[in-house]
Amino acid sequence: MVTHNAADVQRRLTRLRETYDPVVEESEVELDAEEFASFAEVASDGYTGGGYAWVVREEPPALSASMPDVDEEYPRVLLGLGRGADGWGPAGGGREDGETYEDAAVREVREETGVDCELVDCRRVENTVFHCEGDEIHTLWVFFTARELGGSIDVMESELNGAAWFHELPGGLHPSIEDDPFGWDEWE
């Protein structure tokens, strides 16, 4: 049996639990041999999953003097529509060598959407083990809440089909957020 990243993932999960006390969901997924081999290749180079951020805009930026008054509701959350994705979800992506999940989430939000953010909390961690014929790949998918710091939406077209600020969650949410793991009600 070959096991990829079990000790590294456990060490990283322990740090996240000590730092944030997130909800940790554990799952196991069976992959076919081709999918597993492809994923095992990146896992053998240290890939352990990714960081994602639920970015909240609590107050609107000031309007210029030439703009008419508008009646907009806040807070708003930044969601992206990934290429080939199952719905709207938080921006984020894979942790690169030397990065923490926090670093990955902030970098990926900026790269994918053009928005700068500051992490507030880690709400949820998906600790997933992928299996194939007795072999395993251990991963963490880490979901943070964050505050908008600036920037403006500039979609990275190679990653997203779109990005937008939502006051009410849209239909067609990505499975990672359809059960409201971020406590959207606390910002409404």
Longest Cα separation, the chain: 67
Bond from prior residue into 75 cis (ω within 30 degrees of 0)? yes
CATH numbers and ranges of domains, the chain: 3-60+74-186 (3.90.79.10)
d(CA 102, CA 89): 17
> What 3-state class would DSSP assign to 24?
strand
Per residue in 100-139, pLDDT (tens digit) is: 999 999 999 999 999 999 999 999 999 999 999 999 999 9
Measuring CA to CA, which residue among 136, 144, 156 is closest to residue 182?
Answer: 144
* CA-to-CA separations, 167 to 38, 43, 120, 158, in angstroms, rounded: 38, 37, 19, 26
Alpha helix (H) residue ranges in the chain: 6-20, 33-43, 101-113
Q: How far is CA 77 from the centre of its chain?
A: 13
d(CA 135, CA 149): 42
Across the strands, what pairs with 158?
none
Band of residue 180 on the pLDDT scale cut at 50, 70, 90: low
The pTM of the full predicted model, rounded to 2 decimals, is 0.89
Per residue in 44-91, pLDDT (tens digit) is: 999 999 999 999 998 766 777 787 766 678 888 999 998 876 789 999
State the sign of the Cα–Cα–Cα–Cα dihedral 94, 95, 100, 103: negative
Q: What size, in residues, is the chain? A: 188
Question: Which pLDDT does position 170 carry in this prediction?
Answer: 86
